[in-house]
Amino acid sequence: MYKKFLNSFIITTTVLINTPIRAQEIKPMEKPTKKANPINVQYSDTLAKPTPINVSYSNKSDKSNNTETETASQSQNEKSSFSLKGLQIGAGIGALGGANFQLGYRIPYSSDNFFKNRLGFRVEYNTWNPLKSTVEDYFEKHPIDLDDNEFTAILDGHQFGALIDFYPFSYTPVLGNFRLSAGYYTGDFSVGASLTKSQEEIFSMQSQTSYEDIFYKVNGTATLTATLDYDVKGPYAGLGFDIGLLFGLKMYFDAGVVFTDKPNIATDIAGTGTLTICNDETCSSGTDIAIDTNNEEIQKLLNDTKKQYEDELDEIRKGYFPIIKLGFLYRF
């Protein structure tokens, strides 16, 4: 059987090798009737390639523009917040300064800055103008009784100050409201009293030469005035604190001194009619003089008055001007 299979394989192979292949049976590849346009294909391919590049560039530009817009918006918001937060406006009253008005700024909290958390700035203006007439009217109706003489008060003055505040406890609750202040004040202040005498009234003044009381009788009307005048110019040092009430509303208190020159005492007299320099306390006789500051006797009276006040006020005539004030402020 093996021989039969081998003979069949040989015969079949011989037939296939010797059989001729007809040329017509192999058909050549048909050529295309119309050639493809390589330019169009290339042009189409060329157009297709830049498309993702353009899309990618557009996305980068949009992202860049969005980033710049967001950065500018954040910067604008930060500037707007900085211009308001920490700003404070206040008004109050002072013991010697009168009405107090202030505008200030406390630097908002910053977690990484020691000094910014503790610094603030203020400018202040003190004036007696809004209160002067009220105070003087009160003392005119309720004069001060001193040695059987009734005096009325005189108040005037204004001061301007620029201060730096240091909060040692930063923004710690309660303790963070305590501050130390330093700065400079400039201005003036006058406080005094006036004594008015009318017809036939008698008053006395101690002579600074004989140290005896000299009696005067008014024939008409005479007003004797003595004032303590401060030239408030110098450095300021003090302390204070704020008490939070509601939202940004706070109550403030400050106490300090301005280191300045000693105040001067000025005396003056005005009136109508004459003064009689009495020979005794009953003024049964004496010498009449005109109420004129150019008169020598009147000058002696003014000097005696000035000296008497200087002796009495020597304890308080120091080289500093105290400032104590209390009021309300609103901090944004």
Rounded distance, CA 186 to CA 191, Å? 17
> Long-range contacts made by residues 133-138, C-beta under 8 angstroms, separation at least 24?
none
C-alpha distances in Å from residue 251, one per residue of 136, 245, 246, 327, 330? 28, 7, 10, 6, 9
Give, as one character, the DSSP assignment of residue 293: T
Rounded distance, CA 207 to CA 224, Å? 16
Report yes or no: 214 and 207 within 8 Å, Cβ to Cβ. yes
Both tokens assigned to 286:
């004496």
Rounded distance, CA 300 to CA 212, Å? 13
For 167-182, write each residue's pLDDT tens digit: 999 999 989 999 999 9
Is the pLDDT confidence value at 202 over 60? yes
Report yes or no: 165 and 122 within 8 Å, Cβ to Cβ. yes
pLDDT range class, residue 23, cuts 50, 70, 90 = very low
Domain residue extents for the chain: 81-331
Token pair 């030239």 is found at 231
pLDDT range class, residue 115, cuts 50, 70, 90 = confident
Is the pLDDT confidence value at 154 over 70? yes
For 276-329, write each residue's pLDDT tens digit: 889 888 888 888 888 888 888 888 888 888 887 777 777 677 788 999 999 999
Q: Which of 66-80, 198-212, 264-278 has the lowest mean pLDDT?
A: 66-80
Report yes or no: 167 and 178 within 8 Å, Cβ to Cβ. yes
Q: Which of 30-44, 120-134, 188-202 has the lowest mean pLDDT?
A: 30-44
Rounded distance, CA 262 to CA 79, Å? 47
Is the pLDDT confidence value at 80 over 50? no
- What 3-state class would DSSP assign to 36? coil
- Percentage of the chain modeled with pLDDT above 70: 73
**Farthest CA pair distance, the chain:** 188
Rounded distance, CA 282 to CA 290, Å? 20
Q: What is the pTM of this model?
A: 0.68
Rounded distance, CA 238 to CA 252, Å? 13
Please state which of the four CATH numbers 2.130.10.10, 2.40.50.100, 1.10.3720.10, 2.40.160.170 is assigned to the domain occupying 81-331: 2.40.160.170
